[in-house]
Structure 1
């Protein structure tokens, strides 16, 4: 890694500059370095990030995420999962239920001859490992630095950082989240759907081991997800994501912890045992945000900068990972076709449009499916209640119907 903390007076030239060093940006930077090593073709990579990983980092905060089986396969191909595997807690079974109604079903890893359906990781701990890998790699890491301005040139993008550093890049990758400064600088449109929900997140202790079960329970305010986490104690430790009416979320954030645990127990039930303690509680509004066209002149948008999903199916990072895997494949193909007479311009319109085409079907179908799930499972309108209860029951009665559902949840349908 080349660290930059002081102002550089000279213009720095790179092949790829990535703004945003959370999960998507850090993974892409390491993937590009691995690609350069594999092809024995040097790539100058710059990664700009405002914070080192800690609990205050918006991309490496107190949240946990579920990494799908297909995503782990891709992370393994990138050489990253072996470095992260010790942080993962396997999801071996998923219990899906509809509170107050008869619909319920299960997905079990052994039914698909797998050891697990996915793995749960804590973002802050993952961030620390990724930044250690970045520190050891030949990647120019500008941290802590923020993007001050970006100027589009015919043959490059010109970035100016908050310390005055100026970087000229052939390809700019925006991985800077839902409030992307890159997108704002270029005044690119962002579509948003407000679900009128707030996500309350926390880590919770239970009086019995979770035995690697995950739970998704649909309530009239939205889904309530409980994910297994590692624990050094005799009980269980789980990650909670609870979609609520904003006023209800505000109340549950402020009430004493014993009262909160009682409210959670009432909403969830006892399948995970008794909830015995809760850590810090956090919240964020639930919106569906997406760029209709996640490319611009010499610029590609990935991860939450391109789309931010409702957590109902745990697909946010998994969709963002598929963004960067697709971008890596497009760049790899271009570099393999490179000749001395025709060097590759990584910021060319051909590469941007190849990326756009590769992502169109997966992005559109995932976004549509998530919106359908949120609207279908976050209310008590009787036709929808009857339909979703019947659907969950059919999955239990006819196990072969689970296969396409499981393939989508595990990321295999998208990765092929």
Structure 2
């Protein structure tokens, strides 16, 4: 592991430079390091003995803590399919102790008759997914990076990229230069890599803002997760680990801009009362709330998440509404697809930054990415609309899932991250 903070005008040559070390970037860096070192040769592993070790650089502007935009106070749901992939990458055993199982999911439409449940036991599983706190995950991944062969440039920011036919040269704010055959942009919605290349991004405004916080309740969550559709948008509650025996839920509440402003500024008692009214008492009485944060809920995606010797993954490629909990899970599928493409190229001795490789990644991600984005947009618009024929249709749909259990299978597969 190499960390840098000093000025250095020399050029360091690597095979792959990853810009952004939050969930997607850190996961990719660790998986590539494992691929290169061939720590495991099991049939289910990505590890493969290469002719020579890969050299990997990871550039990250922040050391993981509460202030890190990718590892902040939020929690995320890691779907069952994503846990399977993280296990194949050798990473889930490092993170499993941080997870709180989702064993049941309750979905309802406020003010209407529609509701349904998904239960892990119905699918012969221990859990449908796991909830983890990003700050704690960031610390574990960063610790693993410091023990790996990844050249870690942290804290360091990308200042400029200069392209040639065979490589990119990245200038950092430390004065250092990195020359890479392939650049992987994992630097989020405000991607410096994307803006450097003046690449287009499509944005869809949903006129919603999320209030995110942790909620304490007066009764155990018993590993239930909730998705409640309200007039202003979805309200999600995810089970979290207790603190000093106090049950907790991670909350994402979608509101219009004015409502979000009011709820973020409201006194604690007023906020809890409004939340209780919107959600009901199915999860118990809400007794406390942590610091509240607000995030705009828009859809942003690159029509083509590739460029000359460059691919985009995670939130740099697409940022989606949290209505279906697919953000990290979709980004992880970016990582897995890229690993498969790179593994094939390395086995065949191909240039890992070639047009053939970047276009293979584009093709590998096309169907899953497009269908996920399309489905999320449909859910947001369909469940935030009170037009009565639409409301009736979605409530009949939810009830049908309860009445006809076989219909749950494709829904559950999506929820569990199986594309």
- TM class by shorter-chain length? over 0.9
Q: 2:303 pairs with 289, 292, 299, which one?
A: 292
Q: Secondary structure at the match of 2:243?
A: coil
* 2:140 aligned with 1:129: yes
2:237 corresponds in structure 1 to 226
2:17 corresponds in structure 1 to 17
Q: 1:40 pairs with 36, 45, 49, which one?
A: 49
Whether the 8 Å contact between 1:54 and 1:124 is mirrored in structure 2 is yes
* Structure 2: distance between partners of 1:313 and 1:333: 32
Q: 1:352 pairs with 352, 358, 363, which one?
A: 358
Q: 2:121 pairs with 110, 129, 138, which one?
A: 110
* Structure 2: distance between partners of 1:21 and 1:40: 25
* Residue 40 of structure 1, CA deviation: 3.3
1:204 corresponds in structure 2 to 215
Please list, as runs of the form range in 1=range in 2, the aligned pairs for 1:245-260 lying within 5 A after superposition.
245-260=256-271
* Residue 335 of structure 1, CA deviation: 1.1
Cα deviation 1:342-401 (Å, max 9, x = unaligned): xx3111001000000000000000000000000000121101100110000000000000
* 2:373 aligned with 1:367: yes
* Structure 1: distance between partners of 2:286 and 2:3: 45
* Residue 152 of structure 1, CA deviation: 1.3
* Residue 50 of structure 1, CA deviation: 0.4
TM-score by length of 1: 0.97
Please list, as runs of the form range in 1=range in 2, the aligned pairs for 1:257-268 lying within 5 A after superposition.
257-268=268-279
Query: 119-128 or 5-14: which moved more?
Result: 5-14
2:394 corresponds in structure 1 to 388
Aligned length: 408
> Unpaired segments of 5 or more residues in structure 2?
39-47
Cα deviation 1:135-169 (Å, max 9, x = unaligned): 00011000000000111111101100011101100
Cα deviation 1:76-102 (Å, max 9, x = unaligned): 000000000000000000000000000
* Residue 8 of structure 1, CA deviation: 2.1
* Structure 1: distance between partners of 2:49 and 2:416: 33
2:45 corresponds in structure 1 to none
2:88 corresponds in structure 1 to 77
2:41 corresponds in structure 1 to none
1:8 corresponds in structure 2 to 8
Query: 149-158 or 198-207: which moved more?
Result: 149-158
Whether the 8 Å contact between 1:209 and 1:234 is mirrored in structure 2 is no
Q: Secondary structure at the match of 2:190?
A: coil
The alignment yields a C-alpha RMSD, in angstroms, of 0.7
TM-score by length of 2: 0.97
